[in-house]
Structure 1
Amino acid sequence: MKAQVLNRFGDPDVFELTDVDSPAAGPGEVLVRVAVAAVNPLDAKIRSGAMSSVFPTPTPAILGSEIAGVVEATGADVTEPAVGERVVGFAASGGYAELVVTTPDRLAVVPSDLSLTRAATIPTAAETAQRALALIGVQPGETVVVNAAAGSVGSAAVQLLVSAGARVIGTASADNHDYVRALGATPVRYGDHLLDDLASVAPHGVHAALDAGGRGFVDQILGLVEPGRIVTIVDFAAGAKGVNVAAGNPFAIDAHTIAPVLDLAAAGDFATEIAGVVPLADIAEAHRLSERGHLRGKLLVRVADIPGANA
């Protein structure tokens, strides 16, 4: 099968598109033919070598932990999902490849009226947002600031918070303010303007905050929100300040929380944005786009043309 292989750490051009042996589904495993894989910020950090102390990655390696595709085969003792079903979720082997192996608990069946491409925007965003928000226990009527509200995790968090009855303020670049507003949040600017903007739109204060973008946000918001009601998914050093760090383990999470969100998306009640779709051969360009930041939505890699991918 074709795969983008990482033979050494470094800049985005270290990937090599090559033929490798196809994996097989063992007992309790599922083999998925990949239509679409997501490019997450963590992928670029692993590729660069920056995360080697946290997530040791022996090379050669195939990256990509989030995929959507069709079940190609199942191992012994697997009854669901069935061969031929469209699925989305998390890969145990690398998703930048035509075939991946994973386990049933890490997959969710995609509703018939949701495309695989759209479904691929949901798993990490929905799971991460739900896990992070659980740490700060937002109540209806509270005001919450979401940093990087136009990104995939941020926009998921905004929608989950709004549906739970919270008032949401979202940081975003000016070009994304209309999008953040459409999600149900009040947009504010990043950076030096943040505290002034928050004083204007939330004169009675802010109860909690979710940091999905870093860039000094935690240090800014600590003056307004008690540390125990701040959660970050990117600023790992913030734990020393009493802030909740929702690091998680991308190689251990399951898909049990994403099925309801897939249903909401199929019904038009959960919106996602696609920042771009690039061919598997252009994975280096996808990583460069990811590292520039300020993406609106999810960056995807088209691995193969599979019926139903764009339906």
Structure 2
Amino acid sequence: MRAAGLASFGPPDVLHVMEVPEPHAGAGQVRVRVRAAGVQPFDCRVRAGGFPPGRTFDMPVIPGNEFAGVVDQLGDGVDGFSVGTAVLGFTTLGSYAEYVVVGADQVVPKPGAMPWEVAGAFSGSAQGAHMAVEQMGVRPGETVLVNGAAGALGTMVVQLARVRGAATVIGTARPRNHDHLRSLGAVPVTYGPGLVDRIRAVAPDGVDAALGWEVDGLRAALEVTTDADRVVSMVFSDEVAQLGLREWTGERSAARLTEMLAHHSAGELAVHIRRAYPLDRAAEAHRDVGSGHGRGKVVIVVDPAAEPW
């Protein structure tokens, strides 16, 4: 099968289309013919050699941790799915390929009205947002700060915090993305020097909970948040640990994904697709995500000819 993979770690250009053995579903697994795969910052870290601690993988490595497609093979003992079922799901690696094999508990049915590119880019940010809002402990009437709010995960967190009843969601972003944040129900502020003062202009009594990415944003969040235990970082590093923040917790699951799909179907969560790239331009997709300042999600279209887009 065709896949976008890498034979050595490095910059985006190490990612290219190659022929790799076609996988087959084992007991308790399903094989999915992939239509679209979302691109996450995690994928970029993997490509650069930043594997999770204690994890090693044989070359070639095929990135991609979220996908949507059609089940085309069932392993022994799989109930609840049939060949031809449209699904979306999650894994750690392997989604930038024509086929991906995962446990049957890692996929859920795709809503019929959800476009393929949205489905392929949904699982990672949706589940990450669910975990972030849980860890922040967002409650009705509170004020929440989201750094990098225009990005793929940030937009989901903004919307889910509003669904959970947050009275005010402050989102940091470049000025060109402020209107986008307003459309999601957030109060936009520009990040950079003077961020704390701009946040306090919106929330003079401070914020109840905050989500951050970069160390500078997390420092600002700690300064304005009334309870440091409710400042959450999605990216954990030695620098973040030095700030005294708790380590990120949470596991992806079909139940978590199903709950987020219900919010999407109810019109409570919108997914903005920044750009869709064909499989042979996966390196460009990584450069796009690696820029760190885009709006919404980047997706790789693996099989555009399978059915109408």
Q: Please tell me the residue identity of whatever aligns with 1:244.
A: R
Q: Deviations over 1:31-76 (max 9, x none)?
A: 0000001111111111111336454333221111111111011101
Q: Distance in 2 between matches of 1:247 and 1:43?
A: 19
Q: Give the structure 2 partner of residue 301 of structure 1.
A: 300
Q: Give the structure 2 partner of residue 42 of structure 1.
A: 42
Greater shift, 183-192 or 233-242, is seen at: 233-242
Q: Which 5+ residue runs of structure 1 have no aligned equivalent?
A: none
Q: Please tell me the residue identity of whatever aligns with 1:122.
A: F
> How has the CA–CA distance of structure 1 residues 267 and 142 changed in structure 2, closer, same or farther, with 3 Å as cutoff?
closer
- Once the two structures are superposed, the pairs formed by residues 1-311 of structure 1 within 5 Å of their partners are 1-51=1-51, 53=53, 55-91=55-91, 93-166=93-166, 167-211=168-212, 213-214=213-214, 216-225=216-225, 226-237=227-238, 238-246=240-248, 253-305=252-304, 310=309
Computed over aligned residues only, the root mean square deviation of the Cα atoms, in angstroms, reads: 1.8
Any idea what SS the aligned residue of 1:73 has?
strand
Task: Tell me the number of residue pairs that the alignment of Structure 1 and Structure 2 aligns.
Answer: 306
Q: Please tell me the residue identity of whatever aligns with 2:12.
A: P
Percent identity, aligned pairs only, is: 39
Q: Please tell me the residue identity of whatever aligns with 2:243.
A: K
Contact 1:7 1:60 in 2 (8 A): yes
> How has the CA–CA distance of structure 1 residues 263 and 136 changed in structure 2, closer, same or farther, with 3 Å as cutoff?
closer
Query: 1:161, CA displacement in angstroms?
Result: 0.7
> How has the CA–CA distance of structure 1 residues 247 and 214 changed in structure 2, closer, same or farther, with 3 Å as cutoff?
farther
Q: Distance in 2 between matches of 1:214 and 1:89?
A: 28
Contact 1:116 1:308 in 2 (8 A): no
Greater shift, 85-94 or 277-286, is seen at: 85-94
Q: Deviations over 1:165-214 (max 9, x none)?
A: 11211111111111111111101111113112111111121111011x32
Q: Please tell me the residue identity of whatever aligns with 2:270.
A: A
Any idea what SS the aligned residue of 2:17 has?
strand
Contact 2:141 2:165 in 1 (8 A): yes
Contact 2:67 2:119 in 1 (8 A): no
Q: Please tell me the residue identity of whatever aligns with 1:170.
A: G
Greater shift, 259-268 or 66-75, is seen at: 259-268
Any idea what SS the aligned residue of 2:256 has?
coil
Q: Hey, which bits of structure 1, 4+ residues long, moved more than 6 A?
A: none
Query: 1:107, CA displacement in angstroms?
Result: 0.8
Q: Distance in 1 between matches of 2:144 and 2:289?
A: 26
Q: TM-score, normalised by structure 2?
A: 0.93
Any idea what SS the aligned residue of 1:203 has?
coil
Contact 2:130 2:260 in 1 (8 A): no
Q: TM-score, normalised by structure 1?
A: 0.93
Q: Please tell me the residue identity of whatever aligns with 1:303.
A: V
